Amino acid sequence: MQYIFDLHKTLLDHNLILVYEGEFTQEITKSILAMAERNMDSSGEESTVKRKVFNVMVECLQNIVKHAGDVQKKNAAIFIVGKLENEYVIVSGNPIETAESEKLKDKLEQINSLDKDGLKSLYKEIIKNTEISDKGGAGLGFVDMARKSGNPLAYDFIDTGDGAQFFCLKASISRL
């Protein structure tokens, strides 16, 4: 039973207010969003901060649900929200096909290289020139996360050894 205390201490030490690991469906996504919203409401968070956090959470969760594909069946995903003194941190992790990781890395590097105006231009360009993919997105999610958070997106790809990568994404939203 020591691991329960250790886990609890880890959550407290890292200021994690919400952690979910497992299967992600639309219903589970709705529940996660509702819990986070109640937490921010009960702590009296400013509405502009809540809106940004909520928007980034939605994009992260939709990314997990829509893009994990067949790999999701072999590995569960994780979603974490942390509340620090000056920022909220939203972290997601999900398996993706190894073949997709390089394309995704290039897209994230492009997004992180842009300033506010560059992100706005890219967003408009994608809306104007891109058709909705068969998975339901037009590639706007990461651009929108960067725009809403106002910070670069941190990411990593960890080889799982089974032909997949575990894609970790972190977005930080200032509380100031």
Helix ranges restricted to H, the chain: 2-13, 26-42, 47-67, 71-74, 98-112, 116-129, 141-149
* Mean pLDDT of the region 46-67: 90
175: Cα separation from own chain's centroid:
18
**pLDDT (tens digit per residue) in 4-56:** 999 999 999 999 999 999 888 888 999 999 999 998 999 899 999 999 999 99
Fold designation for 2-174: Heat Shock Protein 90 (3.30.565)
Query: Nearest to residue 71, comparing CAs of 147, 139, 166?
Result: 166
pLDDT at 163: 82
Residue type, 81: V
pTM confidence score: 0.88
Q: Where are the domains of the chain?
A: 2-174
99: Cα separation from own chain's centroid:
20
pLDDT at 156: 97
Query: Nearest to residue 90, comparing CAs of 45, 12, 32, 138?
Result: 32
**pLDDT (tens digit per residue) in 88-145:** 999 999 988 888 889 899 999 999 999 999 999 999 888 888 655 555 555 689 999 9
Q: How far apart, in whole angstroms, are the C-alpha atoms of residue 55 and residue 129?
A: 23
